[in-house]
């Protein structure tokens, strides 16, 4: 049986293929020279995704029992704040691209009418609000992939206004991934059945994220 740290290290190693594939898809998307309209639609989905993460993590904090360690609450609260900041930063990017103020409510309605593939959808699919292991796995894998994706976008975009914001978001996503790593190491320590369950959960999550990656860069991939 692996120690908690060894368990997390193995998951991270096995994530590398997904992360590399996701970065490749991002490069293809930007290399396709997407139109202004396509860029606005694409980042509309990413803005809504950050908002969904904000709502989900905030709900975790609000529902946390009194027995929750304060250190854990501090980390989750920091993540919720980061997600709100990302929501605002992607909104600013949309305004920068469009050259005008955006109607957030209208963008949410447009996204609801024609939803794009989003990592945040996995929070509901895996019932992360009811399952500490699923939430931690999401943080480690999905937020880790998000770090790779935002970092790649920052490198692909020549506009410094956009690139600087995306590099900052990438850094935060890496921190969120580390929160999940910390929790998974605790849950997996000395628990072989827990490790087996999480390995299976993570494998399914990677497959979902690979599909999401292909769909939300479909302009260039297909």
- Write down the pTM of the prediction: 0.92
- Give the tens place of pLDDT for each residue, 139-180: 999 999 999 999 999 999 999 999 999 999 999 999 999 999
Contact 29, 219 (CB under 8 A): yes
- Tokens 């293809």, residue? 28
Q: Residue 217's pLDDT band (boundaries 50, 70, 90)?
A: confident
Q: Rounded to an integer, what distance in angstroms lies between the CA atom of residue 154 and that of residue 80?
A: 22
Radius of gyration over every alpha carbon of the chain, rounded to an integer in angstroms? 17
C-alpha angle 138-142-146 in degrees, rounded to nearest 5: 145
Contact 158, 86 (CB under 8 A): no
- Give the tens place of pLDDT for each residue, 63-74: 999 999 999 999
178 token code pair: 């580390």
199 token code pair: 């390995």
Contact 12, 200 (CB under 8 A): no
CATH number for the domain spanning 213: value is: 1.20.1260.10
33 token code pair: 């020279």
Contact 90, 104 (CB under 8 A): no
61: nearest Cα among 46, 81, 89, 86: 81
Domain that holds residue 80: 4-221
Q: Rounded to an integer, what distance in angstroms lies between the CA atom of residue 87 and that of residue 51?
A: 6
Q: Rounded to an integer, what distance in angstroms lies between the CA atom of residue 143 and that of residue 179?
A: 10
Q: Rounded to an integer, what distance in angstroms lies between the CA atom of residue 201 and that of residue 157?
A: 34
Name the domain count of the chain: 1
Percentage of the residues of the chain whose pLDDT score is greater than 90: 87
Q: Rounded to an integer, what distance in angstroms lies between the CA atom of residue 38 and that of residue 61?
A: 35
């Amino acid at each position: 049986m692996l120690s908690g740290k060894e368990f997390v290290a193995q998951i991270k190693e096995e994530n590398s293929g997904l992360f590399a594939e996701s970065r490749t898809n991002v490069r293809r998307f930007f290399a396709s020279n997407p139109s202004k309209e396509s860029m606005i639609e694409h980042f509309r989905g990413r803005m809504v995704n950050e908002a969904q993460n904000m709502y989900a993590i905030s709900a975790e904090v609000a529902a946390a029992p009194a027995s929750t360690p304060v250190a854990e609450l501090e980390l989750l609260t920091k993540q919720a704040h980061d997600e709100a900041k990302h929501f605002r930063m992607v909104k600013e990017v949309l305004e920068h691209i469009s050259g005008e103020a955006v109607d957030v409510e209208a963008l949410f309605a447009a996204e609801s009418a024609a939803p794009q593939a989003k990592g945040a959808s996995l929070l509901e699919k895996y019932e992360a609000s009811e399952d500490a292991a699923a939430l931690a796995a999401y943080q480690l894998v999905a937020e880790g992939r998000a770090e790779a994706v935002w970092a790649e976008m920052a490198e692909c975009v020549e506009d410094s206004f956009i690139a600087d914001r995306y590099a900052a978001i990438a850094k935060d996503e890496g921190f969120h991934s580390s929160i999940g790593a910390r929790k998974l190491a605790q849950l997996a320590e000395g628990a072989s059945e827990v490790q087996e369950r999480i390995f299976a959960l993570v494998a399914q999550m990677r497959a979902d994220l690979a599909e999401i990656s292909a769909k939300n860069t479909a302009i260039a991939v297909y």
